[in-house]
């Protein structure tokens, strides 16, 4: 007599797969959050300081100050973005700011006035501006060349240059500020065109140029390729050394421009200008979504990141927080941003 084995019970049905429309909406929401989440962070920071300062941070004059003050930081952060996209860094930007500022200032100084320590012949203001840009470019070129062809780590090379450039600024000025700058030079930091401050015009021009370089040129594609996978980039024929030299030279030019804006704003080229500015630039870049793992970074994100840093800086000032605490806060922001970036990369 044969016995029949009972058929196994059917497995319980799992949850139905998400409908294509629901999945698409989820992906769209995630993409929007990744792209514009930084704006939500900015809004949260603005609201937080508006509450903490009882609305003082939203005053028209204070908002104007924030917009003007963010320009040099954002300009330098746009340069820093190139380095971080390629897994590098430039710690010398603050010192480059000072060196470019004192050299340009010395050529823009009004001769024959009390306190004028340089006796250069009178020359058009554009000469002093070009000189500041050239000084920045030279510092960046040296950084990039040694990084590329002597295989020195960017952190180490630019750390040394940070001290060298700052030392040159002190040597050049004998430790004294370069005052009595020509009004045409000061226009870079204090003037306005069509009611818009000149620093904002300069930031807009730099932002457009930077976007075009990154998104519409072969050099920009090479920057992302080197940051994404330098070995694959080398195999594909990209000259990594040339890319690195170009990147750090460009950073130097932007640091030189930022230095002249700062000097023009305060009316003197000071060898102390730009101290800790590298921290602001790095923080703005990382907050804006540029990854230390390389290959990721946008102009839009960096600009908003710089604005967030400036709002935080301004808000802490209004609250009477000490400068030392501000340094701590910016360092903490970098650490948190790096942790979040690492978690995001591990989840990919």
Listing DSSP states for 128-139 in one string gives: HHHHHHHHHHHH
Task: Identify whether 82 is part of a domain.
Answer: yes
Q: Are 337 and 286 in contact (CB under 8 A)?
A: yes
> 34: Cβ–Cβ under 8 A, 6 or more apart, which residues?
none
Quick one: pLDDT at residue 110? Answer: 85
Task: Identify whether 266 is part of a domain.
Answer: yes
- Both tokens of 307, joined, read 């604005």
Q: Which of 184, 171, 189, 186 is nearest to 122 (CA)?
A: 184
Q: Please give the model's pTM, rounded to 2 decimal places.
A: 0.89
Task: Identify whether 3 is part of a domain.
Answer: no
Task: Identify whether 32 is part of a domain.
Answer: no
Task: Identify whether 61 is part of a domain.
Answer: yes
Per the structure, the count of domains in the chain is 1
CATH number at residue 173: 1.10.3470
Average pLDDT of the chain?
91
CA 246 from centroid of its chain's CA atoms = 17
Task: Identify whether 11 is part of a domain.
Answer: no
**Span 168-198, pLDDT tens digits:** 999 999 999 999 999 999 999 999 999 999 9
pLDDT value at 5 more than 90: no
Q: Which of 70, 39, 95, 104 is nearest to 255 (CA)?
A: 95
**Span 102-118, pLDDT tens digits:** 999 999 998 766 667 78
Q: Which domain holds residue 289?
A: 39-346
Taking the C-alpha atoms of residue 288 and residue 278, their distance in angstroms, rounded to an integer, is 15
More confident residue, 31 or 287: 287
Quick one: pLDDT at residue 338? Answer: 85
SS3 207: helix
Sign of the four-CA dihedral 292, 295, 297, 299: positive
Q: Are 314 and 307 in contact (CB under 8 A)?
A: no
> What's phi and psi for 269, nearest 5 deg?
-90, 115
Quick one: pLDDT at residue 118? Answer: 82
Mean pLDDT on 50-62: 94
Task: Identify whether 232 is part of a domain.
Answer: yes
Q: Are 250 and 79 in contact (CB under 8 A)?
A: yes
CA 238 from centroid of its chain's CA atoms = 25
Task: Identify whether 128 is part of a domain.
Answer: yes
């Amino acid at each position: 007599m044969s016995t029949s084995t009972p058929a196994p019970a059917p497995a319980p049905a799992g949850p139905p797969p998400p409908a294509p429309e629901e999945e698409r909406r989820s992906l769209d929401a995630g993409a929007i959050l990744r792209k514009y989440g930084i704006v939500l962070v900015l809004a949260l920071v603005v609201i937080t300081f508006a509450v903490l300062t009882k609305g003082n941070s939203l005053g028209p004059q204070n908002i104007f100050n924030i917009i003007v003050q963010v320009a040099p930081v954002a300009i330098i952060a746009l340069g820093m973005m190139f380095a971080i996209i390629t897994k590098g860094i430039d710690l010398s930007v603050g010192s480059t700011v000072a060196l470019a500022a004192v050299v340009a200032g010395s050529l823009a100084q009004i001769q024959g006035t009390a306190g004028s320590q340089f006796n250069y012949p009178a020359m058009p203001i554009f000469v002093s501006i070009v000189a500041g840009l050239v000084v920045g470019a030279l510092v960046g070129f040296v950084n990039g060349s040694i990084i590329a062809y002597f295989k020195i780590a960017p952190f180490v090379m630019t750390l040394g240059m940070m001290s060298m450039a700052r030392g040159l600024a002190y040597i050049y000025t004998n430790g004294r500020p370069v005052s009595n700058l020509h009004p045409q030079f000061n226009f870079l930091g204090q003037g306005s065109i069509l009611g818009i401050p000149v620093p904002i015009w300069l930031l807009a021009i730099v932002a457009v140029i930077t976007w075009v370089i990154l998104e519409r040129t072969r050099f920009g594609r090479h920057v992302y390729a080197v940051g994404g996978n330098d070995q694959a980039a080398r195999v594909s024929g990209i000259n990594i050394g040339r890319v690195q030299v170009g990147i750090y030279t460009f950073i130097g030019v932007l640091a030189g421009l930022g230095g002249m804006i700062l000097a023009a704003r305060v009316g003197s080229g000071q060898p102390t200008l730009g101290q800790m500015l590298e921290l602001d630039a790095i923080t703005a870049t990382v907050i804006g979504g540029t990854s230390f793992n390389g290959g990721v970074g946008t102009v839009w994100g960096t600009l908003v990141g710089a604005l967030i840093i400036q709002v935080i800086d301004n808000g802490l000032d209004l609250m009477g927080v000490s400068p030392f605490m501000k340094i701590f806060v910016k360092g903490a922001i970098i650490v948190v941003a790096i942790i979040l970036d690492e978690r995001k990369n591990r989840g990919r």
